[in-house]
Amino acid sequence: MSDMRSTVIFRNEYIKTHRYISRQPEAGGIFIESNAKITARKIELYKKLRINKPVAKALICLSEDKEITSSIIEREAGLKQPEVSTAVKYLLANNWISVTEVKGKKAGRPVKYYKLIKSRDEIFDAIEGKVMENTNEMLKTLEELRKLS
């Protein structure tokens, strides 16, 4: 359990403050300096593709783990609960993740586990389709504007 917590702390420190943590994998850290830079660059690139930051961070967290809860996404990505909920809704609307509810031993709400159900290539293809659609709409609008001028 302590290894998991230290991993979460390192991820949280990295994503919240964008500090590059150089940590040896054998010491329990998962973000060595090059991986931290790559993660920051991934977030930048998702933003350029009009994928908002919370969705990008959630996608990155989900791509690293098999099945995780929203509270783990909160901790690892440094997001607040409403941001995680918004990101999860977006990912569900695009059919990129699945939700599994697990009832605990005690009374209370079941815990929801999220898992990517699409491959990275399928997700990138879907994003590419949206970008192309937006580009085509903009070109049509520009063409109509030219005709009216």
Q: Are residues 110 and 123 in the same domain?
A: no
- Supply 6's token pair: 């230290």
**113 and 61 within one domain:** yes
Q: What is the DSSP string of 83-94?
A: HHHHHHHHHHHT
Q: What is the pTM of this model?
A: 0.71
Query: Both 7 and 80 in a single domain?
Result: yes
135 and 89 share one domain: no
Three-class SS of residue 104? coil
> pLDDT-derived band of residue 131, with 50, 70 and 90 as boundaries?
very high
Number of domains in the chain: 2
Q: How much is the average pLDDT of 76-90? A: 93
Same domain, 88 and 143: no
Same domain (yes/no): 105, 138? no
pLDDT on residue 36:
75
| Same domain assignment for residues 149 and 103 | no
Same domain? For 28 and 17 the reply is yes
Q: Which of 68, 70, 97 is nearest to 81 (CA)?
A: 70
Domain identity same for 83 and 99: yes
Report the chain's mean pLDDT, rounded to a whole number: 80
Furthest C-alpha separation in the chain: 68
> Does 106 share its domain with 123?
no
Burial category of 48 from C-beta neighbours within 10 Å (exposed 0-12, middle 13-18, buried 19 and up): exposed
Is residue 55 within 8 A of residue 91, CB to CB? The reply is yes
**Assigned token pair, 81:** 């609960």
Does the pLDDT of residue 31 top 60, yes or no? Answer: no
- Same structural domain for residues 81 and 130? no
| Domain co-membership, 56 together with 85 | yes
Q: Which domain holds residue 59?
A: 2-118
CATH number at 82 reads: 1.10.10.10
pLDDT, greater one: 34 or 30: 34
Residue with tokens 């049509």: 140
Euclidean distance between CA atoms 51 and 43, whole angstroms: 9
Please check the confidence at residue 100 and state whether its pLDDT lies above 60: yes
pLDDT (0 to 100) of residue 34: 52
